[in-house]
Amino acid sequence: MSAGLLVRGVSVRLGAQTILDAVDLTAEPGKVTGLIGPNGAGKSTLLRAILGLAPIESGTVSFGGTDLLAMTRRSRAQFATFVEQSADTDARLTTREVVLLGRIPFQTVWQVSPSAEDTSLAEAALAAVDMLAFADRFYHTLSGGEQQRVQIARALAQQPRLLLLDEPTSHLDVHAQLATLALLHQRARAGGTILLALHDLNLAAGFCDALILLHDGRQVAAGPPEQVLTPALLRAVYGVDVTVLRHPRNGRPLIAYDLPG
């Protein structure tokens, strides 16, 4: 019995359109697993389907041998969480209050305010993403990148054993991208199971222990970055010509795109 995430034969349809077609996926504890693929490949839908946020037509999803889709949303939220690409709100919530939303699954029905533990975990999560100085700022006044870091903090405050993220670096500058992925890598090494969708193939190569390549709703490759990021596969899936180099310090793949003409 696996302690990690197991997705078997998951299919999702929207009317007559197949979004995911019998997808298999494994994400192990202690590792960062990356979902890659072009726009429309099904990455976001797969992440949502894993936590029951998108209805599946067939297949199973389990974590640690437990059927995730059979659980109540509250029970699932006590060990798993999802960070979407963006989470806008017009509500006048402070940054701290947004992060404290991650503690709701652990609060009793009669609890009227966050506990001291809730507040401590929220502030520690804000510090981890370098946003503690913004704790009393209204969330809606933050930049897109700052909001993204706050949403990651909200997820960390939930103390999840399973953390799913959809393009967590899309609004971040280079420094924040590297810091965020290093933080997720650290959380994985502490025993967490991390599954994230990425568009930047070099970030995926540099930080992910395993990659799953999706195309037209199907898994076409899975394995270590050096097995997935090959010129032939990238040409077939993305329609681009690349040269795959090796990082001079860590030996991981580096993608050099061959410009047309």
Q: How many domains does the chain have?
A: 2
Joined tokens for residue 158: 């939930």
What are the two backbone dihedrals, phi and then psi, of residue 76, each rounded to the nearest 5 degrees? -65, -35
Residue 61 in this model has a pLDDT that exceeds 90: yes
Q: How confident is the model at residue 44 (pLDDT cuts 50, 70, 90)?
A: very high
Mark which of 157, 190, 214 sits at the end of a domain.
Answer: 157
Residue 1: what pLDDT?
44
Q: Do residue 188 and residue 147 come from a single domain?
A: no
Give the mean pLDDT of 141-153.
Answer: 94
Band of residue 111 on the pLDDT scale cut at 50, 70, 90? confident
Q: Examine the domain organization and report whether 73 and 1 are in the same domain.
A: yes
Q: pTM for the complete prediction?
A: 0.94
Specify whether 35 is located in the same domain as 164. Answer: yes
| Local structure of residue 161 (DSSP, 8 states) | S
Question: CA 189 to CA 3: how far, in whole Å?
Answer: 15
Model confidence at 116, in pLDDT bands (50, 70, 90)? Answer: very high
Q: Residues 69, 164: one domain?
A: yes
What's the pLDDT at 260?
73
Residue 192 lies in a domain: yes
Q: Residue 112's pLDDT band (boundaries 50, 70, 90)?
A: confident
Q: Are residues 173 and 63 in the same domain?
A: yes
Shared domain for 6 and 61, answered yes or no, is: yes
Output the pLDDT for position 83: 95
Q: What is the CATH number of the domain that holds 166?
A: 3.40.50.300
Residue 118 shares a structural domain with residue 138: yes
Angle subtended at Cα 164 by Cα 83 and Cα 102, rounded to the nearest 5 degrees? 50
Q: Clarify whether residues 64 and 183 are in a common domain.
A: yes
75 & 164 share domain: yes
Nearest alpha-carbon partner for 81 in 167, 149, 175, 165: 165
Shared domain check, 57 and 45: yes
Give pLDDT tens digits for 162-214.
999 999 999 899 999 999 999 999 999 999 999 999 999 999 999 999 999 99
Domain co-membership, 148 together with 183: no
Question: Does the pLDDT of residue 225 top 50, yes or no?
Answer: yes
What percent of the chain is modeled with pLDDT above 90? 86
Same domain? For 130 and 169 the reply is no
DSSP string, 173-228: -HHHHHHHHHHHHHHHHTT-EEEEE-S-HHHHHHH-SEEEEEETTEEEEEESHHHH
Q: Give the pLDDT score at 261.
A: 64
User: Domain span at residue 142?
Assistant: 90-157
23, part of any domain: yes
The residue out of 139, 157, 175 marking a domain boundary is 157
The chain-wide mean pLDDT, for the chain, equals 93
